[in-house]
Each structure stands twice: as C-alpha cells, then as structure tokens.
C-alpha cells in the first residue's frame, strides 16, 4: 500500500484540499435535500475526533499530532455526504465510530487500513438498518421549499411529533427505477413513476455535477491522479452503453447511471483514497475500471440500488494483488528464475 507522507503538514494540506473540494457537493446536497447534511456533520465530526483521540490515547500515542492530519475530519465528512439527510443521530454516530475505530484504528491508524473507513461505516449501517438508510427526502429544494433547520433537527434527534417521517421520505430514483424494472416495466414506464429531472434523478444530477466540479479541482491541483476517476467513469459508461444498445427498454442510459446516486463522490473522493486504492499507474486504471463495472453489475442485478460503497470495498480487497501484477519494470533489471534451493521449504 502507498505510504502516507511522514510530514504531517503535507498530509494536512492534502486532506484540507480534499475537504475544500467537497464543499460544492455538500452545498448542493443541502440545497436539494435540506440542512440535514450539516446537522449530521455537526454531530459526526466531534464523534470522529473524540473516537480517534480515545484510541490514540489507549495506544499510548499523543492524539494532538495525529489529529492534525485531518483524516478523521475527512472521514466524517465523506460519510455524512453519503447518508440520508434525516437519518437518526445515533445511527450517524454509530457509523462514524465504526469507520474510525473498526476500519481505521484497529488496523494501526492512518496508512495501515486496507478498506476505506467511510465506506465501511456506510456499509455496516446499510446492512444493519436498510429501511432507514434508503429513506431520502424528495428533492424539495428544486421548488424552493425545504425543511427548516429546526424541523430537520427534530427528526434527526427523534422528536418528530410535528412531522410524519414516512410521509416526507421516498425512495431514490435508482431504487424506484430498479423496483419498476424488477416488476416487468420498461424504462419509459419506470420514468413515469418519478420526476426524472433533466438527465437522471431529479436533483441528483446537480449533486453529481457539484462533486464533479470539486473532483476536477483536485485533479488540477494534483491532489489525486486521473487514472482512477477516469477509468471508473469510462468503465461504467461503456458497460451501461453496451447493455442500453442491446435492450434500451430494460437497461438505462449511461448518463442516467453517471448522474444518479453517488458516482462522482465515489470516483473523485472515495475510490482515490491513496491508502486503500491501487498505487501503480496501470494498477489504478484496473482498480477504477473494476469499480465502474461492479457498480453497474450490482445496480442492475444486485440487491442494492447504488452500489458504490460495495464496489469500492470489493476492489480494496484486490488492490494489493493488482499492485503486485502491475509493478513497472525497472530499466536494466534482469529477471532471474528462482533457484532450486529457493523452492525448497
């Protein structure tokens, strides 16, 4: 795995740039779905920092130096960006605790974890609380009306006497479309069951474009490399295009897949994690392409409508193997066959 720089200032600057690039997507989320994302951030960030500090103290390390790298803050922000805006506060805290303690610190901390911490927390919540994790607000921000900060806080804290949660929430466009297809309806019939927006799910295209803008900033600054996001997006596009050409009535267009769900968040902010992704130039291409193909497979035939988190974690498992087989050749090096002695146990 790629080593994290020992210079904490360098790590802090890189993490800070990623946090800055996240802001357009977070603003778009709050515009479309209300202020719930900011309330989750206000709850999850202190929980993440406290959990990281406690584990570091138990390991006999000073928490102050390690917390300066901003990795715990970034993990909380990434997880908050992926959660439904009205998820109960204790579930959000539970998810970030799993991410920091189980997926990061139990493996040795920053630079040692084999799986993306934010996606581990997300998947644990999705498996444990599937109903709550798939209830999203309709994109009310598009018509100028959203829940107020106070109303959102009441629901997140569990005091929703004034509001009926079931009446407010709905399935995401991906989930609705998948349900319609599984019931034998065509793509066009499924689109009649939801406001499909301009190109994909209503509101989701703006959220993905906002995360895309932040991702392009990271590319221009050299914070991330181009191979993983480009290969992931290209693989998803080509796979969706192939099946759409074969049967356009049953398989949606590439644009619908690219601008629905968490594709741009996953491509630029999650899959590019330098600790858990492939580190060789060729390996990054295979790593990103594998995520793109897996996203399409799980979305189309799997049990979950989005699948970015599962796809990233599955490819995290293969990252060391990909790196092993894609190491660049060293100029002038001569490969030697192992001797008979080296083959003996």
Q: How many CA atoms lie within 13 A of 140 on its CB side?
A: 16
Instruction: Give, for all 345 residues of the chain, the pLDDT tens digit.
Output: 344 444 545 888 999 999 999 999 999 999 988 899 999 999 999 999 999 999 999 988 887 766 788 999 999 999 999 999 989 999 999 999 999 999 999 998 888 999 999 999 999 999 999 988 988 877 765 555 567 888 888 889 886 554 455 545 555 666 655 665 555 655 555 554 555 555 566 688 899 999 999 999 999 999 999 999 999 999 999 999 999 999 888 888 898 889 888 999 999 999 999 999 999 999 999 999 999 999 999 988 887 778 999 999 999 999 999 999 999 876 555 444 444 443 344
CA 42 – CA 44 distance, rounded (Å): 6
125 close to 304: Cβ distance less than 8 angstroms: no
Burial class (CB in 10 A: 0-12, 13-18, 19+), 267: buried
Are 214 and 21 contacting, i.e. CB atoms less than 8 angstroms apart? yes
What crossing angle do the helices spanning 281-301 and 308-325 adopt, rounded to 10°? 150
Return the closest-CA partner of residue 293 out of 257, 322, 246. 257
Record the pTM: 0.86
CB atoms within 10 A of CB 130: 12
Q: Are 77 and 59 in contact (CB under 8 A)?
A: no
Helices (H), 149-223: 149-156, 165-168, 173-182, 187-191, 204-221
- Cα torsion through 167, 139, 190, 208, rounded to 10: -140
**What stretches of the chain show up as alpha helix (H) in DSSP?**
8-33, 36-58, 63-67, 71-82, 89-97, 117-128, 130-133, 149-156, 165-168, 173-182, 187-191, 204-221, 227-246, 254-258, 263-265, 281-301, 308-325, 340-343
User: Nearest 5 degrees, angle CA 298-CA 303-CA 307?
Assistant: 40
> What three-state secondary structure class fits 170?
strand
Answer whether 210's CB lies under 8 Å from 24's CB.
yes
* Domain edges within the chain: 1-170
Q: What DSSP designation does 107 have?
A: G
| 170 CB-contact burial (10 Å; exposed 0-12 / middle 13-18 / buried 19+) | middle
Phi-psi group of 70: left, alpha or beta (phi > 0 → left; psi -120 to 50 → alpha; rest → beta): left
d(CA 278, CA 271): 9
Give how far the C-alpha of residue 326 lies from the chain's centroid of Cα atoms, to the nearest Å: 25
Instruction: Decide: 121 and 95 in contact? Cβ < 8 Å.
Output: yes
pLDDT of 313: 97
CA-CA distance, 267 to 277, in Å (whole number)?
12
User: How far is the C-alpha of 2 from the C-alpha of 111, rounded, in Å?
Assistant: 8
- Cβ-contact 98, 50 below 8 angstroms: no
């Amino acid at each position: 795995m790629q080593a994290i720089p020992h210079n904490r200032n360098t790590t802090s600057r890189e993490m800070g740039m990623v946090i800055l690039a996240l802001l357009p997507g977070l603003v778009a989320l709050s515009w479309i779905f209300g202020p719930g994302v900011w309330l989750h951030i206000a709850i999850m960030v202190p929980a993440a920092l406290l959990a990281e500090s406690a584990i570091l103290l138990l390991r006999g390390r000073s928490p102050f130096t390690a917390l300066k790298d901003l990795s715990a803050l970034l993990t909380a922000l990434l997880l908050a960006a992926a959660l439904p805006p009205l998820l109960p506060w204790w579930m959000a805290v539970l998810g970030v605790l799993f991410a920091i303690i189980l997926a990061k610190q139990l493996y040795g901390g920053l630079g040692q974890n084999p799986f993306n911490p934010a996606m581990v927390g997300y998947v644990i919540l999705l498996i444990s609380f599937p109903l709550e994790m798939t209830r999203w607000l309709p994109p009310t921000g598009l018509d100028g009306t959203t829940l107020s900060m106070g109303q959102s806080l009441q629901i997140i804290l569990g005091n929703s006497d004034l509001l009926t949660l079931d009446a407010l929430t709905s399935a995401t466009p991906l989930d609705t479309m998948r349900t319609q297809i599984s019931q034998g309806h065509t793509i066009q019939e499924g689109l009649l069951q939801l406001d499909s927006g301009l190109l994909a799910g209503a509101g989701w295209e703006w959220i993905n474009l906002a995360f895309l803008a932040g991702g392009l900033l990271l590319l221009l600054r050299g914070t991330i490399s181009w191979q993983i996001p480009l290969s992931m997006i290209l693989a998803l596009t080509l796979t969706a295009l192939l099946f759409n050409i074969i049967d356009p009535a049953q398989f949606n267009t590439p644009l619908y897949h690219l601008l629905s769900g968490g594709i741009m968040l996953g491509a630029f902010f999650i899959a590019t994690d330098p600790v858990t992704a492939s580190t060789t130039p060729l390996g990054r291409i295979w790593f990103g392409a594998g995520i793109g193909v897996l996203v399409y497979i799980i979305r189309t035939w799997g049990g979950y409508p989005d699948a970015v988190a599962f796809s990233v974690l599955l490819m995290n498992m293969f990252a060391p193997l990909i790196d092993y087989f894609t190491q660049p050749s060293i100029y002038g090096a001569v490969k030697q066959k192992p001797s008979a002695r080296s083959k003996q146990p």
